[in-house]
């Protein structure tokens, strides 16, 4: 029997997967996810957290809840290798896709197809086997049986022949079944319906039962047959043929009455939800899902399929949410809907979920104090209530040996309230919590909490010390690139207990900031920290999502093109003695230009909100950009003619060919990038000056335009 296999195909089978398109089809059609490096998540975001929170993907919250009802050990589970778009999440955050891939990794690459494998046009092998087994059990004559099996194997394929004619009643009944099934798959529902009706009096019990089940399938297909838009997509519930959907419901009842333990009983039970959905019986659908949330173990992949189905069929529709909340009988679904309802509709307006609304739901949560307490505390936190009121609702359990996702959510929220209260014990709380935070992604969330606190306290050196409890490499790479002092970077570069990629990030950052911020003597010395690696791929990036190029960029780069520049080490040695040395400064500019540093920036958190990485940078100095090197030499009228000519030439070339300044280094935002542009008149003035003052220089001759 084709079609209805398991939960995931529930909506997909019906609506042609359009409802799942966002996850199924868009492998590379969605932007990559850049997380906000903080604990709170008020609004929907791609970076999921290991706690029940308004910002999580609803499917993540559903699964975390299921895994709290029946606790699951996550010991020894390895994090899935992230896809390109999840790369920045590290092991701190996760997407729905990443969560599924970690918990239920897909099987390795398939073996090459075998010639006798069932084609997609034919029924799955299981269905063909069931057909053959039924004939064997019912003692269909072997001769007919072989013929019927052969016909069945091709049924539905373009090269199928119409079923043969059988003199024998029993075999003929199987043949008629195949004809009816073929009509069904071809969309000839009236013909299929009449053939299956006739088969109700078949001599074969298997055919009788299967024909009764197929009545359900036909009615469901017919119900949505007209609900297709011009693009071939599901046109919406309002276009469904409700009479056919109701007929499917009646056929389910009839089938289950006649065959309560029948071979399709489980499938028929599942199809009940589809009927509820198609006929808009959302209250009953919610009750069904609530029961399934309790009954489905969070350890199995069926839990993930269920989460997707609930989100697609119920929680993404306003009427569905109303049925959940209005019914007041589905606390698990209400939890998920309430969390979603806490997302801000408008930052200027108060928390959309009113305290009274949540208070009125209290009876539904009788006996589930942990869940209801978390909801109340979460609402209070995101509504901006005083942290002390949140702390009283969430007792300290930071020394527990382990946490369900629900228990962990309560503790992390407690830690967030401690942070808001600037509580002196916050750092100790996070360190205690790490002990029992053994679930996937849990420990890293506690580490993020501690890192944020230490950032606020100006203790990045402590956070990055060798003995620091912040062990997560992504968090460390983030702090190394954004805030670490030179000595901290040196110590991390030398720390053999840390992964090579992380040490490269430390090394690269030390050298990059040293070079661009004028620490020339240090830079020259620190070059010795770069391991000789002639095979280093200078174009590659190393690190966990917050990667840097290899530090060998500074030892194996290209030094000279138009100017006779020595190695970078010699240039910086000169600058260490005299930072104003003009030939050396031009050679520094050449190094930027020839090695791709013009457009480069270290990782910086994108959104300008308080988050890890936006603390004070302990590395002193400000960046010297290439255009500033030229501007200083142009301003020095006594500079040597060849140097000044080159500075003018390069200053004009900074705008080639786009008219935008490509030599100004990274800009934090649009306004900053606008501030880096000089007026076109200035570019013309440089051009004119080069042509007028140094007409015989090779740079004047080489320059034919300005931009």
Partner 1 sequence: MKRPIVASLALAALALSSACQREQRAPEETTAEETTAEAAAPKVDPHGFDAFYVWPGVRPAADLRTHTLYLLDGEVRRRPGPARFTRLRAGLPRLPGADLWLVVRIDRLDLSPRTWATIVADMERWQAAGNHLQGLQIDFDAATPGLDRYAAFLAEARAHLPHPWRLSITGLMDWSANGDPAALAQLKPVVDEVVVQTYQGRSTIPGYGAYFRKMAHFPLPFRVALAEGGNWTPPPGLARQPQFKGYVVFLMPKQLRR
Residues of this chain, 600-659, that bind partner 1 according to CB under 8 A: 600-601, 604, 606-607, 654-659
Among 2, 5, 30, 558, binds partner 1 (CB under 8 A): 30
Q: How far is the CB of 68 from partner 1 (least distance, A)?
A: 20
Q: Does 110 bind partner 1 (CB under 8 A)?
A: yes
Q: Which range, of 285-293, 522-530, 592-600, 627-635, touches partner 1 by CB under 8 A?
A: 592-600
Residues between 362 and 401 that touch partner 1 (CB under 8 A): none
Residues of this chain, 230-259, that bind partner 1 according to CB under 8 A: 230-234
Work out how close the CB of 276 gets to partner 1 at its nearest, in angstroms, rounded to a whole number.
19
Member of 75, 76, 106, 139 binding partner 1 (CB under 8 A) = 106
Residue 372's alpha-carbon distances to 223, 321, 394, 409, 417, in angstroms, are 40, 18, 11, 12, 17
User: Does the protein bind partner 1 through residue 85 (CB under 8 A)?
Assistant: yes
369 Cβ contact partners less than 8 Å away, ≥ 6 residues apart: none
Element (H or E) spanning 259, and its range? none
**CB of 602 closer than 8 Å to CB of 512:** yes
E runs forming strands in 372-486 = none
Q: What angle do CA 277, 283, 288 make, to 5 degrees?
A: 70
Closest CA to 217 of 177, 241, 173, 184: 184
Least separation in angstroms between CB 278 and partner 1: 13
DSSP labels, 488-549: HHHHHHH-TTS-HHHHHHHHHHHHHHHHHTT-HHHHHHHGGGSPP-TT--TT--BSSSS-B-
CA distance 540 to 597: 14
Residue 113 binds partner 1 (CB under 8 A): yes
Contact characters 546-565, partner 1, x per CB under 8 A: -x-x----------------
State which residue, 34 or 299, has the beta carbon closest to partner 1. 34
Whose Cβ is closer to partner 1: residue 88's or residue 555's? Answer: 88
| By CB under 8 A, residue 79 contacts partner 1 | no
Determine, following the binding rule CB under 8 A, whether residue 58 of this chain makes contact with partner 1.
yes
Hey, which residues does 48 pair with through a beta bridge? Answer: 94
* x/- letters, 663..682, toward partner 1 (CB under 8 A): x--xxxxx--x---------
Nearest CB to partner 1, comparing residues 487 and 668 = 668
Query: Residue from 5, 34, 128, 682 that binds partner 1 (CB under 8 A)?
Result: 34
**Residues 305, 7 contacting (CB under 8 angstroms):** yes
Of 153 and 645, the one with the shorter C-beta distance to partner 1 is 153
Cβ–Cβ < 8 Å for 630, 589: yes
Task: Using the CB atoms, write b or e for 583-608: b if 16+ within 10 Å.
Answer: bbbbbbbbbbbbbebbeeebbebeee
Residue of the chain from 84, 346, 696, 704 that contacts partner 1 (CB under 8 A): 84
Find where tokens 């979920």 sit: 353
Residues 122-181 that bind partner 1 (CB under 8 A): 157-159
From first CA to last CA, the distance across the chain in angstroms is: 68
Q: What is the size of the binding site for partner 1 (CB under 8 A)?
A: 89
User: Under 8 Å CB-to-CB from 96, ≥6 apart: which residues?
Assistant: 23, 48, 57, 59, 60
* Shortest spacing between CB 428 and partner 1, in angstroms: 33
CB of residue 177 to partner 1, shortest distance in Å: 23
Give me the torsion for CA of 89, 95, 100, 106, rounded to 10°: -60
Cis peptide before 657 (omega within 30 of 0): yes
Among 8, 33, 285, 573, binds partner 1 (CB under 8 A): 33
Residues 6+ apart with CB under 8 A from 366: none
Rounded CA separation 405/252 (Å): 37
Q: Which of residues 476-505 bind partner 1 (CB under 8 A)?
A: none
Residue 444 C-beta: closest distance to partner 1, Å: 20
Smallest distance from the beta carbon of 111 to partner 1, in angstroms? Answer: 8
Cβ distance to partner 1 smaller for residue 137 or 538:
538
3 binds partner 1 (CB under 8 A): no
Choice between 16 and 300, CB closer to partner 1: 16
| Binders in 329-358 for partner 1, by CB under 8 A | 343
Residue in 1, 7, 18, 552 binding partner 1, rule: CB under 8 A: 18
DSSP classification of residue 119:
P
């Amino acid at each position: 029997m084709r079609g209805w296999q398991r939960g995931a195909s529930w909506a997909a089978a019906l609506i042609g997967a359009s409802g799942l398109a966002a996850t199924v089809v868009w492998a590379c059609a969605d932007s990559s996810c850049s997380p906000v490096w903080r604990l709170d998540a008020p609004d929907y975001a791609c970076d999921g957290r290991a706690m029940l929170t308004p910002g999580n993907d609803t499917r993540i919250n559903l699964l975390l809840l299921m895994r709290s009802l029946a606790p699951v050990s996550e010991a020894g589970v390895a994090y899935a290798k992230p896809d390109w778009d999840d790369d920045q999440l590290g092991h701190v955050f996760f997407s729905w896709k990443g969560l599924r891939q970690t918990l239920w990794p897909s099987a390795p690459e398939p073996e090459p197809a075998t010639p006798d494998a069932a084609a997609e046009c034919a029924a799955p092998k299981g269905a063909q086997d069931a057909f053959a087994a039924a004939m064997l059990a019912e003692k269909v004559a072997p001769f007919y049986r072989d013929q019927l099996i052969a016909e069945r194997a091709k049924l539905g394929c373009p090269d199928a022949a119409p079923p043969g004619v059988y003199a024998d009643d029993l075999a003929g009944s199987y043949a008629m079944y195949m004809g009816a099934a073929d009509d069904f798959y071809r969309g000839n529902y009236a013909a299929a319906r009449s053939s299956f009706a006739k088969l109700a009096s078949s001599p074969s019990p298997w055919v009788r039962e299967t024909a009764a089940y197929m009545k359900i399938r036909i009615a469901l297909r017919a119900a949505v047959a007209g609900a297709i838009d011009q693009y071939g997509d599901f046109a919406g519930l309002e276009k469904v043929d409700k009479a056919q959907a109701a007929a499917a419901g009646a056929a389910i009842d009839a089938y289950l009455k006649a065959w309560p333990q029948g071979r399709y009983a489980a499938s028929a039970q599942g199809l009940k939800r589809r009927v509820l959905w198609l006929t808009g019986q959302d209250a009953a659908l919610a009750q069904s899902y609530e029961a399934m949330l309790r009954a489905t173990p969070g350890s199995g992949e069926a839990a993930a399929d269920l989460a997707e189905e609930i989100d697609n069929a119920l929680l993404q529709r306003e009427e569905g949410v109303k049925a959940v909340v209005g019914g007041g009988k589905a606390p698990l679904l209400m939890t998920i809907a309430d969390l979603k309802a806490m997302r801000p509709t408008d930052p200027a307006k108060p928390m959309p979920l009113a305290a009274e609304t949540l208070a009125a739901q209290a009876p539904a949560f009788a006996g589930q104090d942990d869940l209801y307490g978390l909801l109340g505390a979460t609402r209070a936190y995101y509504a901006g209530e005083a942290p002390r009121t949140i702390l009283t609702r969430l007792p300290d359990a930071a020394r527990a040996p382990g946490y369900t996702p629900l228990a962990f959510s309560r503790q992390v929220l407690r830690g967030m309230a401690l942070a808001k209260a600037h509580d002196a014990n916050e750092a100790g709380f996070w360190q205690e919590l790490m002990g029992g935070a053994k679930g996937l992604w849990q420990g890293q969330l506690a580490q993020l909490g501690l890192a944020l606190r230490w950032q606020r306290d100006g203790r990045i050196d402590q956070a990055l010390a060798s003995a620091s409890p912040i062990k997560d490499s992504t968090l460390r790479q983030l702090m190394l690139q954004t805030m670490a002092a030179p000595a901290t970077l040196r110590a991390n570069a030398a720390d053999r207990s840390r992964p090579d990629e992380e040490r490269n990030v430390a090394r690269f950052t030390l050298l990059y900031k040293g070079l661009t911020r004028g620490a020339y003597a240090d830079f020259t010395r620190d070059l010795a920290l770069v391991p000789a690696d002639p095979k280093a791929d200078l174009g590659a990036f190393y690190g966990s999502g917050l990667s840097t190029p290899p530090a060998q960029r500074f030892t194996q780069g290209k030094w000279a093109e138009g100017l006779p520049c020595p190695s970078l080490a010699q240039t910086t040695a000169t600058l260490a003695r005299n930072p104003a040395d003009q030939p050396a400064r031009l050679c520094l500019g050449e190094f930027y230009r020839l090695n791709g540093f013009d457009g480069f920036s270290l990782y910086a958190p994108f959104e300008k909100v308080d988050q890890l990485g936006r603390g004070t940078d302990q590395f002193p100095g400000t960046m010297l950009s290439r255009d500033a090197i030229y501007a200083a030499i142009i301003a020095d009228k006594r500079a040597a003619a060849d140097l000044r000519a080159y500075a003018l030439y390069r200053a004009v070339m900074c705008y080639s060919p786009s008219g935008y300044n490509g030599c100004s280094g990274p800009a934090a935002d649009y306004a900053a990038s606008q501030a880096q542009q000089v007026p076109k008149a200035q570019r013309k003035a440089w051009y004119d000056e080069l042509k007028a003052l140094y007409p015989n220089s090779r740079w004047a001759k080489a320059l034919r335009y300005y931009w």
